[in-house]
Structure 1
Amino acid sequence: MLSLEKKSITAEQLRAGRALVRWSAKTLADNAGVGVATVRRCEAETGPVSATQANKNAMRAALELAGVVFIEENGGGSGVRLANPLRAND
Structure 2
Amino acid sequence: MPLLLPEQCRAARGLLDWTQEGLAERADVSRSTIRDFENGRHFLHPTTATQVVAALERGGALLIPSDEAGPGVRLRKPVS
* TM-score, reference length from structure 2: 0.89
Give the match for residue 70 of structure 2.
Answer: 77
SS in 2 for 1:45: coil
Unaligned runs of 5+ in 2: none
* TM-score, reference length from structure 1: 0.80
Residues 22-73 of structure 1 deviation map (CA, whole Å, 9 limit, x = unaligned): 0011110000000000000011018xx6111111111111000000000001
- Give yes or no for the alignment of 1:8 onto 2:25: no
Cα distance in 2 for residues equivalent to 1:83 and 1:9:
17
Post-superposition shift, 1:75? 1.0
Post-superposition shift, 1:84? 2.8
Q: Give % identity.
A: 34
Size of the aligned set, in residue pairs, is: 78
Q: Give the root-mean-square deviation of aligned CA atoms.
A: 1.9
